[in-house]
């Protein structure tokens, strides 16, 4: 979770800026949280040249509505290396300003290990194909039942005179059952 630096606005007087700390040491990106205690206000976030070389401020002109909180991400890539710089926070067209000294270190503050990421994570991993095979027992029993029913209907159709159309229909159904059985067992 990134470090957060809260900056209180309009707390003591109009256009007042009060960062909770004037220095921030971090090993990664961080968040500026502007907490407005009064009227709407524009805040300009200006990194100096050293900080701007390695960190990107997501929004440099921030509008904070009355009694609202707005966050601004300051993104520093992990491989950027150590750097020191200053963020200048300005309100009231320059009438009020504060400076925050920022130190970005390479050593992790949380003591956790760095996670090694290599190119193998971008390769598509193959998954084993799910078993979609139908067991012979499950395929043959329904087909055998259908064939028996159709054969019985065919025998009745042949026994009844003038049932030529029924015989043709039964032959078609038997042919369909045969094709289905072939596809299942193939």
> What's the chain's length in residues?
186
Instruction: Please state the domain extents for the chain.
Output: 3-109, 136-185
Supply 141's token pair. 């029993």
Supply 77's token pair. 């890539």
Q: Which of 35-49, 90-104, 137-151 has the lowest mean pLDDT?
A: 137-151
The CATH superfamily assigned to 3-109 is Immunoglobulins (2.60.40.10)
* Residue 80 neighbours by CB under 8 Å, 6+ apart: 54, 55, 104
* Residue 134 neighbours by CB under 8 Å, 6+ apart: 184
Distance CA 17, CA 11 (A): 8
Quick: pLDDT tens for 49-70: 999 988 999 999 999 999 999 9
33: three-class secondary structure by DSSP: strand
pTM for the whole structure? 0.57
Average pLDDT, integer, range 3-32:
92
């Amino acid at each position: 979770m990134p470090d957060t630096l809260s900056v209180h606005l309009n707390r003591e007087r109009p256009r007042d800026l009060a960062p909770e700390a004037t220095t921030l040491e971090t090993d990664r990106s961080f968040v500026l949280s502007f907490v407005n205690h009064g009227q709407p206000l524009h805040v300009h976030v200006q990194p100096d040249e050293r900080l701007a070389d390695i960190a990107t401020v997501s929004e440099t002109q921030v509008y904070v509505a009355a009694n609202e909180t707005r966050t601004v991400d300051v993104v520093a890539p992990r491989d950027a290396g150590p750097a020191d710089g200053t963020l200048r926070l300005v309100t009231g067209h320059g009438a009020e300003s504060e400076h925050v000294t920022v130190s970005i270190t390479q050593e992790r503050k949380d003591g956790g290990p760095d996670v090694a990421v290599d190119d193998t994570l971008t390769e598509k991993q193959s998954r084993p194909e799910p078993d979609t095979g139908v067991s012979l027992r499950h395929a043959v029993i329904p087909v055998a039942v259908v064939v028996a029913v159709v054969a019985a209907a065919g025998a009745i159709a042949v026994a009844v005179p003038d049932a030529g159309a029924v015989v043709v229909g039964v032959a078609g159904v038997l042919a369909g059952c045969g094709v289905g059985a072939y596809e299942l067992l193939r």
